[in-house]
Amino acid sequence: MAAVSMLGPREAGKFIASLAKDVSIRPDGVMKTARVIADAVKSGQLDMEAFKQNEVLPLGRGLTQGQLANWVFLIDSLNFNFWTPDGQPKYSVTHEGKTRTGYLAMVAAVNRALDEGQPMCDPTHYATLTLQDLTHIFRSDTPSQMPLLEKRFEVLQEISGILKEKFGGSFEGVLTRAENSAVKLVEIVTESFPCFRDVASFEGRPVAFYKRAQILAADLWMLYRGQAPGGFTDMGELTMFADYRVPQSLAYLGALEYSDALLQRLKEQYVFSSGDREEVEIRGCSIEATERIVEAARSLLQAEGGGDVTSIKVDFFLWDYRVKHAAKVDSIPYHRVRCIYY
């Protein structure tokens, strides 16, 4: 019997949405969100320079192009699971006069370590770091330390070893093989680095989400402003990055709707396991909802004088939207998982 082929993120989203039981995509919410997106495009809020990730890029530190590539790979290797239980202080890092939480706090901690003389852009350096070293590097302003620190230690051991074994000890070796293709980069990274193999099973089909591998391509594209070696010509082939925050924004804006049973579990802060049906439905429907939003926003923009949008830009916008409007968006509970994939 032939093996069932893996569905890529876009096809997986469509498949999951067609069979989902606890998550649905609301056409009125899709149109409402598309209107928000189209207006944001016209006002310049979806320009590359507008996204919050720009705040923490390590520019002005004299890093070479190769070191910058290694920095992005390090960041996206560790870009998972920052939530803290309600009522507990958030993981927070103050650096360069600004306090950040969650993912942005992790990035600030890496930049702080760079400024303290740690060569964090060198995989041979972080290969030698101990768990105690990492605890110091990622120290928090609050009693809440970064979650899954031991898993992050294992990830650094894994990626540094594979970079040395297969790619000449630097992420530049991966970029060279990708040949200016975001799709090829995702393929190489997910095939070569187990910690990036973000896949599940749904209704008997293997489905891929590839959140961190796709965001790696997007971050390189943003870092290099669309120029080589991040001058990917096929960015439109990537989907949104199915995490736990963008679905929250989609639900807040009405594009996603949860069953009463699922909403109750979310309100109770139930911690799902990676691969649980409800968790897979939320992630898959988020991808498909974003595809529909992109299509609707493009139609609006075409009718109103032009402009374009991609799934990646919608993802960046919705992630930023949650950060900027946290008090409102957090009225919708997000799904919680402890895993290394997102």
What pLDDT shows up at residue 260? 98
Residue percentage of the chain with pLDDT more than 70: 97
- Predicted confidence (pLDDT) at residue 319 exceeds the cutoff of 90: yes
Name the pLDDT band for 1 (thresholds 50, 70, 90). Answer: low
pLDDT in tens, 91-143: 999 999 999 999 999 999 999 999 999 999 999 999 999 999 999 999 999 99
Listed in sequence order, the DSSP H helices in the chain are 9-19, 27-42, 65-77, 102-115, 123-126, 131-137, 149-166, 172-178, 182-192, 211-223, 246-252, 260-267, 277-303, 311-324, 326-329
Condensed to tens digits (0 to 9), the pLDDT of residues 57-77 reads 788 888 998 899 999 999 999
How far is Cα 81 from Cα 249, in angstroms, rounded to an integer? 17
Q: How confident is the model at residue 4 (pLDDT cuts 50, 70, 90)?
A: confident
Is 243 one of the catalytic residues? yes
What is the band of 50 on the pLDDT scale with cuts at 50, 70, 90? low
Q: What pLDDT digit, counting tens, does each position of 21-36 carry? A: 999 999 999 999 999 9
Kindly give, in sequence order, each residue whose CB lies less than 8 Å from that of residue 176, ignoring residues fewer than 6 positions away. Answer: 229
- Mean per-residue pLDDT, 260-268: 97
Catalytically annotated residue among 219, 243, 315, 320:
243
Distance between CA atoms of residues 24 and 233, nearest Å = 33
- Structure confidence at residue 54 as a pLDDT band (50, 70, 90): low
pLDDT at 231: 85
Could you read off the pLDDT of 132-141 as tens digits, one per residue?
A: 999 999 999 9
pLDDT for 119? 96
Q: For position 128, what pLDDT does the model report?
A: 97
Average pLDDT of the chain is 94
- Judged by phi (left if over 0) then psi (alpha if -120 to 50, else beta), residue 179 lies in left
Model confidence band, residue 211 (pLDDT cutoffs 50, 70, 90): very high
